[in-house]
Structure 1
Amino acid sequence: MKELTKAEEEIMQILWDLEKAYVKDIIEVMPEPKPAYNTVSTIVRILAQKGFVGHEAFGKTHRYFAEVSKEEYRGFVTEKLKSGYFDNSVGAMMSFFVENEQINLKEADAILKMIEEMRNKK
């Protein structure tokens, strides 16, 4: 799997939300200023070449859908982040989030609860 550019990821986020969409549907939900139709169409075709997007043909028009799920891509990006910046250590990654106050107490409690549930399963 390849990492997506910012523009590709923006379109994938929309496709994950819409599930199936024509280029005009994608543009409709994009923020202002809206990109040109050809720009979005080109990015969608690049995503198709990369294997992220599939399509159904209706005459000359295509309706697009995600071939890679949001969860699959999230796993890929998280693994890349962990291995590239945290020496493949979940602990180091979590420490970074805690030290930079990117986890609030409610989230920390939820994480501790998950850890406790993992312990109880053993």
Structure 2
Amino acid sequence: MQKLTNKEEEIMKILWRLEKAFVKEILAEIKEDQPHYNTLSTIVRNLEDKKYVGHEAFGNTHRYYPLIPKEAYRKQFVNATIADFYDNSYKSLVSFFAKEEKISVAELKEIIELIEKQK
């Protein structure tokens, strides 16, 4: 699975949310730094080339839909991030969030409970 650019990820988030959409519908969902219609169309076709997106033809226009589930991409992205930045250590990842005060003791206890329930 190829890594996506930030703009491609933005488009995929829209497609995951909408499930199926024409380029003009995707364009309407972009609030900031809205690209030109043709630029967006090129990005969507690139996503199709990367096998992230498929399409249904309606005459000369296409309705696009995700081929890769959001959860599959998230798993790949998280695993790659942990490998690249935390030496494949989930402990290092959680420690980072604790040091940055992005996770509370109560949340850590909830995580421990979830892990214990799965055993």
- Unmatched segments (≥5 aa) in structure 2: none
| 1:25–1:106 Cα change, 3 Å | farther
The aligned amino acid for 1:37 is Y
State the percentage of identical aligned residues. 49
Q: Which runs of 4+ in 1 moved over 4 A?
A: none
| 1:32–1:100 Cα change, 3 Å | closer
CA displacement 1:24-71 (0-9 Å, x = unmatched): 000111104422100110000000000100000011010000011100
C-alpha separation in 1, matches of 2:33 and 2:13:
18
Per the alignment, residue 22 of structure 2 pairs with: 22
Name the TM-score, length of structure 2 as normaliser.
Answer: 0.94
Deviation, 1:109, is 3.1
Alignment of 1:6-17 (within 5 A): 6-17=6-17
Aligned-partner SS, 2:16: helix
C-alpha separation in 2, matches of 1:48 and 1:95:
38
Deviation, 1:81, is 0.6
Deviation, 1:116, is 2.1
Deviation, 1:110, is 2.2
CA displacement 1:55-96 (0-9 Å, x = unmatched): 000110100000111000001100101111111111111111
The aligned amino acid for 1:15 is L
Name the TM-score, length of structure 1 as normaliser.
Answer: 0.91
C-alpha separation in 2, matches of 1:79 and 1:32:
29
Count matched residues: 119
The aligned amino acid for 2:114 is M
C-alpha separation in 2, matches of 1:82 and 1:32:
29
Per the alignment, residue 74 of structure 1 pairs with: 74
Per the alignment, residue 112 of structure 1 pairs with: 112
Return 85-94 or 25-34, whichever deviates more: 25-34
